[in-house]
Amino acid sequence: MKMLSRFSGLFAGRWGQAYAGFSVFILIAVLAVLLFNVVYNGTQVISGSFSKGEFFTAGDKAGMLYAIIGTLALTLFTVVLMVPSGVLFAVYLAEYAPDNYFTAFLKLLIANLAGVPSIVLGMFGLGFFVFFLGDFTDNLLGLKNVFGKPSILWAAVTLAFLNLPTVILTSYESLKNIPESVRLSAYSLGATREQMFFRTLLPQARPGIITGIILAVARTMGETAPILFLGVVFFMPEIPVTEISFGLFPVPLINPLEQFMALPYTIFILATQSTVPGENVNIEYMPTLILLLLTIAANLLAIKFRYRYEKAIGKLR
Partner 1 sequence: MKEIKIQINDFNLWYGGRHILKDINLQVKANRITAVIGPSGCGKTSLLRSVNRLNELIRGARHSGEILIGADEIHEPGTDVYLLRKKVAMVFQKPNLFPDTIFENLAFPLKISGVKDKELISEKITAAAVKSEIWNEVKDRMNEPALNLSVGQQQRLCIARALVSEPEIILMDEPTGSLDPVSTAKIENLIYDMKKDMTVMMVTHNMNQAGRLSDYTVFIAQGSVIEQNSTSRIFTTPQNKKTEGFISGKINLFGEEK
Binder of partner 1 out of 204, 220, 266, 288 (CB under 8 A): 204
Q: Nearest Cα to 155, choosing from 93, 73, 246?
A: 73
**According to the binding rule CB under 8 A, does residue 139 interact with partner 1?**
no
Task: Tell me whether residue 46 or residue 106 sits nearer to partner 1 (CB atom).
Answer: 106
Binder of partner 1 out of 20, 189, 253, 281 (CB under 8 A): 189
At its nearest, how many Å lie between partner 1 and the CB of residue 208? Answer: 13
> Dihedral (C-alpha) 246, 251, 255, 260: value to the nearest 10 degrees?
-160
In 52-98, alpha helices (H): 65-91
Binder of partner 1 out of 17, 112, 195, 242 (CB under 8 A): 195
Task: Tell me whether residue 181 or residue 275 sits nearer to partner 1 (CB atom).
Answer: 181
Q: Distance between CA atoms of 138 and 134, rounded to whole angstroms? A: 6
Q: Distance between CA atoms of 244 and 264, rounded to whole angstroms? A: 29
Q: Distance between CA atoms of 285 and 42, rounded to whole angstroms? A: 5
Binder of partner 1 out of 191, 202, 228, 239 (CB under 8 A): 191
**According to the binding rule CB under 8 A, does residue 181 interact with partner 1?**
yes
Stretch touching partner 1 by CB under 8 A, among 29-37, 132-140, 190-198, 228-236: 190-198
Binder of partner 1 out of 52, 144, 176, 315 (CB under 8 A): 315
Phi-psi region of 20 (alpha: psi -120 to 50; beta: other; left: phi over 0): alpha
DSSP code at position 260: B
In the complex, the residues that contact partner 1 under the rule CB under 8 A are 99, 181-192, 195, 199-200, 203-204, 312-315, 317
